[in-house]
Structure 1
Amino acid sequence: MHKKEKKIVESVNKHEDAALELLTNAVNINSGTMNFEGVREVGRLFKTELDKLGFETRLTSGDAYGRAGHLVATHKGKPGLKLLLIGHLDTVFELDSPFQKASKVNDSVMKGPGVGDMKGGDVIIILAMQALKDAGLLDDMSIEIVMTGDEEKSGSPLKLSKKELVDAAKWADVALGFENGDGKEETIVIARRGSTSWKLETTGNPAHSSQIFTERVGNGAIYEISRILTEFYEKLSTEENLTFNPGFILGGTSIDLQEDGMGGSAFGKTNVVPEKALVRGDLRAVSLEQLERAKETMKKIVSENYPQTSAQISFDDGGYPPFGKTTGSETLLEYYDQISQDLGYGEVYAVDPRNAGAADISFTAGHVSMAVDGLGLSGADNHTVEETGNINKVAVQAKRAAILMYRLSRMKNFKD
């Protein structure tokens, strides 16, 4: 191991206790996405730490997209490697959640809201920056850190919500996400499935139920929507890494969709052929090509109607884009795996994309050629009141991440 890497290890060991204290403090601040002041308080906590390390920091306004805003920290180094590091400040646990404070399960495990997803990852970023500074390496790197305030419940429009993140991705050579992937320390994410939503609507001829299936009346809206969903399953359910989930369905003589699109009501009678039906769902694909292929298949199925029915499907293209596997992400996995083994922490392999949901790293797709995610804190039960993080791995993850950045900075092709 290079002497600079030994200094990184020494620094992480020195500052580990302080990092764990910072993590506890962060977890004890409620930062549910819609608790704007709490999100900003966590942002201020991490801003203070990054200020100490010489970063130029700012807390942005989220007024334009209905959220708290983001923490953006910039370090301008010598010409060479340009790194984007991604975290987020918010959690799924709002002020009305019963889950509000950190507690120790044992010497290795902390239970608390957001400890794994992803305040642990944020603290790992800060600890890695401290180690690079102590080793005299930070000045050789240009780094932008974006910790978003709306990863768990994105603001709208996404074009504004994710602008700082996308702009940073366009600038960067390498993007590293510090989500916790599938919760295992031996994995990182080189592909994440994107997420978009869809709405399917069908219509039929309202009539007395005794006339259903006749040439004049046809099959009705509910049979038509059932046909379509069945064919979606038959044609697409076996495709690897593709899922499409109908989240709720309404059908009858009339339907009333809630303004937020998250539910509604239906009215109908058993002796009346239903006139209206509606389904809303999501669609997850591992690449843009797979996503477009699935959409075309779904559209074709929708167009082949039962007698006297019609159907239309629409897609919300404002969702999270797929973060597809690239040569660059595979290369980063190779480097990271070698570093882990050099440190004595064992092999690292890629997360199955089915086990990695959409995340902010997705917005780097198409903008930066080398990107991975899942460098954060291992743990379990994210998004539940049983969420835990393996706090004895904070130092492990910080060492691996900092040495990865150092080794990347020595690559000649990143030099201007």
Structure 2
Amino acid sequence: MTHTLLAAFALAAALPALAQSASDRKIAATVTAETGRHVELLERLVNVNSGSLNLPGVTKVGEMVRAELAPLGFQVEWIDMTATGRAGHLIATHTGNGRGKRILLIAHLDTVFEPESPFQKFVREGERATGPGIGDDKGGIVVIVAALRAMQAAGTLEGADIKIVLTGDEERTGAPLAIARRDLIEAGRWADVALEYENLAREDGADKGTVARRSSANWTLTTTGKTGHSSNVFGPGLGYGAAYELARILDEFRRTLPEPNLTFNIGVMAAGTPATLAENGYQVSAGGKTNIIAESAVARGDLRALTPEQEAKTRAAMQAIAAAGNLPGTSARLVFQDGYPPMSPTAGNRALLTKLNAVNRDLKLPEMAEMDPARRGAADSAFVAADVDTLAGLGVAGGGAHAEGEWIDLPSIPLQALRSAVFITRLSKEKR
């Protein structure tokens, strides 16, 4: 047995001592007994490439998860999404007694690592394991499976009304967005509570609760100018050119728009005669000479805000800057592309964290403070947060997401499974 598995088992062995009620003790005992099983499940999931554009790989991971959920009494269906350019979503529904809260669990099957990436395999490294998507979000899927299996063993799953939505395109959403997120949004309207299983937030060794996530929208700024010999730049005939107009607008963004929880990054830009943005939206090209005034310029970036109001206000301000005060001889056009909405820090979300902290106290675990939303990315939970109280970041602890060397702490699997199983059990018994 590897050192990593020994460490995972050592933590799991301590879990029953933390539990209070008979069902909690059974949950903890099951998590302990199945720690090795779930590390092995994670390894199998990680070793199947499921980059967002690898449709067969995403589908295969979905079938692997179906095999875990169907024996637990879930009705599992595959929602084909090839019309959006993606594989599809796995939706699993467990019908309980109809008396308690309806609970939605959210995670995703895909990763950012496509088949051409050199980073493809699960590797154990001491108390850590590395692998593509190991934390984002295959570790989260394993926590869900482990928690539900523990609930079944304790007899608390039988009466619970639970729906699981595992999207197949979280890292690179299919289009149109209205179709790609239709089923997730419908599930959010069905639910009374939503729990999302991306990476657990951890700072200075302390676990944090995620009650808010910022939005993620893209924007494209295009400017045009009159081209000609550079000796006439700034003059009445040719004006300033597209490059200076692009710089004016971007610098005005920088000087006037910053405020707490708001960012607007410039990811790529170019100016020249001409400058063009590729159809994929991620590459630009330009040509020109030092003695030619730039005819066109383009910049593409993102916008992240904490609330719908903050995002709407910022979009309007950016449009006003682009439209007003154009330098002589230039014009500008700013276009936004909708993406992930914000998951605002509502009273309902904070109430869920309070309930989770009650679980932590009963399990003799440290309470979890709120994570700074500016330190978290966007996620699928944002699509349901407008309709249902939502708590995010309930997956495994780790780091390096979206980069080669992505890793997790293996002992966080049983810990998070215990937290979730007890938490879901209690929520399922609350009256609607």
Please show how residues 111-130 of structure 1 align to structure 2 within 5 Å: 111-130=130-149
Separation in 2, partners of 1:183, 1:44 = 31
Amino acid across the alignment from 2:84: Y
Matched, 1:145 2:168: no
Which residue in the other structure is 2:33 paired with? 14
| From 208, 212, 233, the counterpart of 2:229 | 208
Task: Give the C-alpha shift of residue 409 in structure 1.
Answer: 2.4
Instruction: Render the CA deviation track for 1:70-102: whole Å, top value 9, x for unaligned.
Output: 111100111121111011111112212222221
Q: Residue 189 of structure 2 aligns to a residue in which SS? A: helix
Structure 1 match to 2:243: 222
SS in structure 2 at match of 1:283 = strand
Deviation string 1:161-213 (CA, Å, 9 cap, x unpaired) is: 11221110011000000000445661121111111111111122223222222
Q: Which residue of 1 aligns with 2:297?
A: 277
**Structure 2 counterpart of 1:362:** 382
For 1:410, the equivalent position in structure 2 comes to: 429
Question: How far does the alpha carbon of each residue in 1:272-312 deviate from its partner, in whole angstroms, 9 at most, with x for none?
Answer: 22221111111111111110111111111112212222112
The letter for the 1-side match of 2:257 is: L
TM-score (norm: length of structure 1):
0.95
Which of 32, 39, 44 aligns to 1:25? It is 44
How far, CA to CA, are the matches of 2:291 and 2:136 in structure 1?
A: 50
1:283-302 to 2 correspondence within 5 Å?
283-302=303-322
Give the alignment of 1:89-100 within 5 angstroms. Answer: 89-100=109-120
> Contact 1:183–1:380 (CA<8 Å) still a contact in 2?
no
Letter in 2 for 1:77: G
Say whether 1:330 aligns with 2:353: no
Are 2:414 and 1:395 equivalent residues in the alignment? yes
Q: How far apart are the structure 2 equivalents of 1:332 and 1:48?
A: 30
CA contact (8 A) 2:90 2:167 kept: yes
Aligned equivalents of 1:212, 1:309: Cα separation in 2: 12
Greater shift, 371-380 or 261-270, is seen at 261-270
2:367 corresponds to which letter in structure 1? Answer: E
Aligned to 2:68: 49
For residues 186 and 342 of structure 2, the distance between their equivalents in structure 1, rounded to whole angstroms, comes to 18
Contact 1:181 1:351 in 2 (8 A): no
Cα distance in 1 for residues equivalent to 2:75 and 2:332: 53
State the distance in 2 between where 1:3 and 1:266 align: 68
Identity of aligned residues (%): 44
Any unmatched runs of 5+ in structure 2?
Answer: 1-19
Change (3 A) 1:91 1:188: same
Letter in 2 for 1:219: Y
8 Å CA contact 2:201–2:207 kept in 1: the answer is: no
Provide the aligned length of Structure 1 versus Structure 2.
Answer: 409
**Quick one: which of 362, 369, 372 aligns to 1:342?**
362
* One-letter code aligned to 1:354: A
Partner of 1:236: 257
| SS of equivalent residue, structure 1 residue 140 | coil
Q: Does 1:136 align with 2:155?
A: yes
- Cα RMSD for the two superposed structures: 1.5
The AA in structure 1 aligned to 2:224 is: T
- Structure 1 gaps, min length 5: none
TM-score (norm 2): 0.91
Using the TM superposition, give the Cα deviation of residue 60 of structure 1 relative to its aligned residue in structure 2, in angstroms: 2.2
Give the CA deviation at 1:352. Answer: 1.2
- Taking the TM superposition and a 5 Å limit, the aligned residue runs for 1:182-201 are 182=201, 186-201=207-222
